A and B are shown apart, each in its own frame.
Chain A
Amino acid sequence: MLLRTEQLTKHYGAITALDHLDLEVVPGEIVGILGPNGSGKSTALRLLLGFLRPTSGRASINGHDCWSDSVNARRFVSYLPGELRLYENMTGVQLIDFLSRLRNYKPTDRLQKLQRLFDIDIERPLAQMSSGMKRKITLMQILLPETPLVILDEPTNTLDPNMRDHLLGQLVESAQRGQAVLFSSHVLTEVEHVCDRVAILQQGRLVHWQNMRELREVRRVRVTLSQPVANLAAPENVAALENHGSDLHFQHRGPLPELLQWLAQLPVADLKMEPMGLSEIYQKYHRLNGTSS
C-alpha cells in the first residue's frame, strides 16, 4: 500500500474539517477526491503532506508517518498546491532547479520534453508569466522527478482546455508508469475521464467510494413506449427500474444483445442510452443537501 489513512481526523477548534477518513491508494492508480468547498479535500491533502498535525488517526506514505516522519514521506511525493504562489524573483528554470536541488534530483532531458509538451519558455521571469503559465511551470516541476505518488490540489484551475487535456494525459501516463496519482477537483468530467476510483467527501466525511471501472460498465437507459406495459419481466442485468407508464428508466450492466432482445419485445417508440456518470452519485450527496459546488 503506497498511501493509507486510518481514521484521519482534523479539528480546528469546534470545527471538524476532516472526520475519520480512511483512504488507501496503491501504485499505478488514479484516485480523485470530489467535494464542494469546505468538504475537507484540501485538508486531507495537507495532512498527507505533513503541513497539518492530525487531531487523531494517522496517515502514512510508503510506511512513513505523514506527521512524525514527514520528510521521508515527502520523498515519495510531488505536490501541486491549489493556491499557486511562486518565488516571483526567479525565472521558471531557476525555480525548477531550486526545487529539484531540495529533492537532490538533477533535471534530465525529460525537462526539454516537458517544456515542448507544455509549450512554455522557462527562461522567463515568473513575475512576467500569467497564472496559467506559472501552473505549467509547477506541473513540470512535479512531473519531472517521477515520484511514486503525485498529489494535486485542483490541478486544472486556470488551465486552458488544451492544456487540461495534456495534463490529464500526463496523469494517465504517470499511472501507466506505476506512479499513483491523488487529486482533488470540482470538475466531474475530468475525474470521470481519468480516475480509477473516486472518493466523495461531504463536510469532512467520506460518504462514498466509487470504482470508476464499475461505473463505466453501467449504462443509463431511458425508453419511451408507445403504450404502457403493466408487467415487465426485466432481465437480470437491469437495475433500478422505474416504470412511469409509458416511460421506463433503468440502469444496465453487461452485454447489449440480451438487453436489445428484451427491448424488442416491448412497443419501443424512443430509446436513449448513455454511460453512467458521477453526476447522479455526486448530486445525491451534495445537491440534495444544498451543498453542490
Chain B
Amino acid sequence: MTWALTRKLLRDVRVAWIVVATLTFLFQILWARVTSRVTTQILTALQGAGVSLEVLQEVLLGKEFLGQMVQAILGGEQIRLDRPDNFMSISYVHPLPLTILGIFAIGRAANAIAGEIDRGTMELLLAQPIRRTQVIVAHLVVDAIVFPALCLVLWLGTYCGTWWMGLQALGNQRVDPLHFLPALMCVFGLLFAHSGVTMWISSLGRHRPRVWGWAITIFLCMFLLNVLGQIWEEPLGWIRPYTVHYHYLPQCMILHDDWYGSANAWLHLLVLLGVGAIGYLFAWVTFCRRDLPAPL
C-alpha cells in the first residue's frame, strides 16, 4: 500500500524534479565555464596587466577588504582563486543553486500534507484503509529517492562541466570530480533539513501557500542570519550555529582530502540530517493527532 502511494507521489513530483535537475545540471556546466574563464584567462590577463594574484586574493577574500562579505555569500572556506578546484567548489555553496534546490524541497514538503488538504484530496486518500503514518513514510521514501537523484545530477553536472571545459586535464591544477562526491552528503543533508522542517509546518497547516510562506521566511532568515553572523561576528556570531546554513560545509569535503578524519565535519552533517529527521518526527506526531478539516 505504501509502495502504491510512493509511486503516485514519485509520479506527481517528476515534472518539478526534471526542471530542477536540468537547472542544477546546467548551472554546474555554467560554473565550470566561469571557472575556466577566471582561472585560465581572466587571472592571467590581470597578472599581465600588473595586478598580482596576492593583491587580488587579498582584496576579494581578505578580511580587511571585501573578504568577509564575499566569503559569507560564497562559502566559508579559504579558497584560492587561481585554483580551478577551489573555484569550482563555489558552485556547491552558490546562492542560486541552493535557492533552486531549497525551493524544490520546500515546495514538495508543503504539498505533502497542507497541499493535499488544501486541494481536498487528503480526504479521498485517507478514506482508504491506510495509516497516516504510511503517508509520512511514503513521503520520507520519496525524499530518500528524489534527493539523492538530484545530488547525483548535480555531480554529473560537475563532471560533465569540468570535462567539457578541460578542467580535468590541467596537470597538477586538474579538477578531480571524485573529490566532489562526498559533498553530495552535505547537499542531501541540506535538502533533507529543508524538507523535514517544511513537512512539520505542512502537518500543522491546511493552506499550501501559507506553508510555503512560513518555510521560505524561516530559511531565508536563517540564511541571512548566517551571512550577517559571518560579517559581524560580534554581536551576531553566536546565532550562526542555530541556522542550517552554518552546518552546510561542502567545500570542507571537496577541498580537504582528510575531511573524513574531522569529527567536526561529521557533526555538521549530522546536524543537517538531524534537523530533517526531527522535522519528520514532529510532522508524524502532529499529523497523526490532528483533525482533518473539510476542504474549503
Interface residues of A (CB under 8 A from B): 42, 46, 49-53, 71-72, 74-75, 77-79, 81-87, 89, 98-99, 101-104, 138
Contact = CB atoms under 8 A, between A and B. Distances in A.
Interface in B1-35: 1, 4-5, 8, 11-12
Interface of B: 1, 4-5, 8, 11-12, 119-121, 123-131, 289, 291-292, 294-295
B108 to A, nearest CB: 15
Contacts of B125: 102
Contacts of B5: 102
A81 B121 CA distance: 10
Contacts of B1: 101-102, 104
A71 B130 contact: yes
B295 A86 contact: no
7 contacts: A49-B127, A50-B126, A51-B292, A53-B289, A74-B127, A86-B124, A138-B124
Contacts of A50: 126
A103 B127 CA distance: 10
Contacts of B121: 85-87
Contacts of A82: 294
B125 to A, nearest CB: 8
A51 B12 CA distance: 24
A59 to B, nearest CB: 14
Given A83-B294, A83-B295, A85-B121, A98 B8 contact: yes
Given A83-B295, A85-B121, A85-B295, A101 B4 contact: yes
Contacts of A78: 127
The 5 closest A-B pairs by CB, nearest first: A85-B120, A101-B4, A51-B292, A79-B127, A102-B128
A98 B292 contact: no
**Majority SS of interface residues in chain A?**
loop
Contacts of B4: 98, 101-102
A138 B121 CA distance: 12
B291 A51 contact: yes
A7 B75 CA distance: 62
A77 B11 CA distance: 27
A83 B291 contact: no
Contacts, number: 66
Contact of B124 (A71, A74, A81, A104): A81
Given A71-B129, A72-B129, A74-B129, A52 B124 contact: no
A101 to B, nearest CB: 4
A72 to B, nearest CB: 7
A81 B127 contact: yes
Given A53-B291, A83-B123, A84-B120, 4 more contacts: A77-B127, A89-B11, A102-B4, A104-B1
A27 B160 CA distance: 66
A98 B130 CA distance: 13
A101 B129 CA distance: 10
Given A53-B289, A102-B5, A89 B130 contact: no
A170 to B, nearest CB: 18
A165 B42 CA distance: 79
A46 B122 CA distance: 13
Contacts of A85: 119-121, 123-124, 295
Contact of A52 (B131, B291, B295): B291
A241 to B, nearest CB: 46
Given A98-B8, A101-B4, A74 B128 contact: yes
A46 B128 contact: no
B268 to A, nearest CB: 38
A99 B291 contact: no
Contacts of B292: 46, 51-52
A286 B125 CA distance: 34
A82 B127 CA distance: 12
Contacts of A86: 121, 124
A184 to B, nearest CB: 13
A103 B292 CA distance: 20
Nearest to B4: A101
A81 B128 contact: no
A99 B123 contact: no
A83 B118 CA distance: 12
Nearest to A72: B129
Contacts of B294: 42, 46, 82-83
B160 to A, nearest CB: 31
B93 to A, nearest CB: 35
Contacts of A49: 126-127
A127 to B, nearest CB: 13
Nearest to A142: B127
Nearest to B3: A101
Nearest to B118: A85
Contacts of A138: 124
Contacts of B119: 85
A83 B120 contact: yes
Contacts of B130: 71, 102
Contacts of B131: 71
